[in-house]
Amino acid sequence: MFPADHDIPGASEAQLRRPFRVKVCGITDAETIARAHALGASFLGFVLYPPSPRFVPPERLAELLACVPAEVRTVGVIVDATDAFLDHLLSYAPVDILQLHGSETPERVRAIALRTGCRVMKAIRVGAQEDLDGLEAYFEVADMLLFDARPPRGAAWPGGHGLPFDWRLLAGRRLPLPWALAGGLDAGNLAAAVELLAPPIVDVSSRIETAPGVKDPHKLAAFMAEARRLGALSPKEVSAC
């Protein structure tokens, strides 16, 4: 489907170093917040969709946000949220970025941005070339994009299944917004993703877990070590640029 690390011909460590940032998503506890920050993550994501096993209620998220250092951006993952839910969420937990991981139209994306005043990241679920049709409609209404794999048929939640998609579908595309690559990333395939696409942000979640929402400290550390080797910037390095 896509090249593995050892399939990149002649790729030296120096050639692979392309500056990017890391988002650790699906966090459910303060210990992981501290660990991800210490290892250099720039974004921390929290799932606010009740069917997900990584769901964090807004009231609990408020407690977790108090543990996040100021230089780290917080991301609330929502799925086709109502205005009432958005108002409830932000009254408890004012995240920096709202990640819209449902079927939100460009009109709905604009409305959410205007209503909340938050930066908005629109997730695009990719399984085939046609999933990218109409992508341009989001360029004027979203602040960021995220590309994730389409979930398995019948899945109860739209992301966090540990599945990659064919990254070649994005190869060569020029995107006018900051964007993140998600879906099945781990320490073993991160180099291939960076070499092929040079994503500004990489998003890791289920491949570094022992159970949904339970991040494995060793897998997280291995992923962040590989990210740093490949050129990932810490929040302090980003702010110094």
Closest Cα to residue 181, out of 173, 165, 209, 172? 165
Catalytic site includes residue 186: no
Phi-psi category of 117—alpha, beta or left, where left has phi over 0 and alpha has psi -120 to 50? left
Residue 87 near residue 66, CB atoms below 8 Å = no
Catalytic site includes residue 241: no
Place of tokens 């690559």: 181
CB neighbour list of residue 181: distance below 8 Å, 6 or more residues apart = 146, 147, 167, 170, 193, 197, 199, 201, 202, 203
Q: How far is CA 165 from the centre of its chain?
A: 15
Residue 120 near residue 97, CB atoms below 8 Å = yes
Catalytic site residue from 148, 166, 203, 241: 148
Catalytic site residue from 5, 25, 29, 166: 25
H or E element that contains 78: strand 73-78
| SS3 at position 48 | coil
Return the active site residues.
25, 148
